[in-house]
Amino acid sequence: MGYRDLQLDWLQCLVAVVDAGSLSGATLEVHRSQSAVSMQLKKLEDAVGHRLLERDARKQHLTPEGETLLGYARRILALHAEAHDALSGDALTGRVRLGVPDDYAARYLTPVLKRFAPRHSGVEIELDCEQSTALIPRVASGDLDLALISRDHARRGTLLFHEPMVWVGSAQFELWRRDPLPIAVYESASLARRGAIHALAQQGRRYKVVYHSSSLAGQIAAVESGLAVAALTHCSVPPQLQVLGTEHGLGPLAPMEVAVYRSRASRGAKAVDSLQSLLVQTLRQSGSARTAP
């Protein structure tokens, strides 16, 4: 079998499909139709002589050969971008101090950093994971350059998407049957806490706060151990917990407005400009493709 060169467009489609988790999600990244993405992948598979993705109706799964090629594809694309930037004089350097809440880090920040870090290896990223109520004043004071936040004001940052909030509990303990309802909450200033208590008040449902924690891990631990039910962002709900709704006597929760918030002190910093632009581009696209629970 003759060897065929691996074209960059084919490799870009492979990486985009893996990062997006689907053909439809990849279309937003590579700016091609779904049929065109599928055709590019077929050409890549023909070139390497192996099936790279096993496809079902909802998700793409890498084959062992696909796993091997993916690592090379990321390195090839990163080196190509680095060479382009070096020759064009656009190579970025510097430092970006970035903040993100725990519940947004894995789901939303990881795909952005996967694209940013290889291309801009000269940029150092300092990442702080805290609740939005702690990140907002740090951005305002210039202690952080950027933060992905649940915003508390319509003028706070650039709106990216609305993140659904859901009640969660353990099917093992069925705490939603209790009166008053035992709940786990974040700190007093938390938007999630305020939203949960407001929803219960609107519903006329009695409740009792039995657990406080400023961390997502603490909230999940309280629910898993049968202490309480909690209100979490939908993206952060682990598979072992049960999403609760009206059939459990719990009404809807208002969604979070997720925004990227930038400090005035970082204006003009090209590395911050680039990361902010990528956050907006990537997360606005993923938000437009998201479906509510």
- Both structure tokens of 174: 């069925």
- What is the three-class DSSP state of 289? helix
For the domain bounded by 165-254, which CATH number is listed? 3.40.190.10
Cα dihedral across residues 225, 227, 191, 179: positive or negative: positive
Give me the pLDDT at residue 58, please: 58
**66: nearest Cα among 137, 138, 10:** 10
Q: Where are the domains of the chain?
A: 8-88, 94-160+258-289, 165-254
| Contact in structure between 112 and 282 (CB atoms under 8 Å) | yes
8-88, CATH topology level? Arc Repressor Mutant, subunit A (1.10.10)
- Residues 127-145: tens digit of each pLDDT: 999 999 999 999 999 999 9
- Residues 149-158: tens digit of each pLDDT: 999 888 889 9
- Both structure tokens of 8: 């960059």
Q: Which residue's entry shows tokens 């151990």?
A: 225
Report in angstroms the alpha-carbon separations of 56 from 21, 49, 61, 81, 270: 11, 21, 8, 32, 41
Q: Which residue's entry shows tokens 């059939």?
A: 247
Q: At what angle do helices 23-30 and 8-20 cross, to 10 degrees?
A: 130
C-alpha triplet 284, 285, 289: angle, nearest 5°: 115
Give me the pLDDT at residue 251, please: 93
Give me the pLDDT at residue 289, please: 47
- What is the three-class DSSP state of 210? strand
Q: Does domain 94-160+258-289 bear CATH number 3.30.70.890? A: no
Give me the pLDDT at residue 89, please: 62
Q: What is the DSSP letter of 188?
A: T
> How many C-beta neighbours within 10 Å does residue 26 have?
25
Hey, do 8-88 and 165-254 end up sharing a CATH topology, with the first three levels equal?
A: no
Q: Please state the pTM of the whole predicted model.
A: 0.74
| Contact in structure between 234 and 287 (CB atoms under 8 Å) | no
Q: What is the DSSP letter of 104?
A: H
Q: What is the mean pLDDT of the chain?
A: 88
> How many C-beta neighbours within 10 Å does residue 192 have?
25
| Strands across the sheet containing 158-163 | 123-129, 94-100, 146-150, 256-262, 158-163
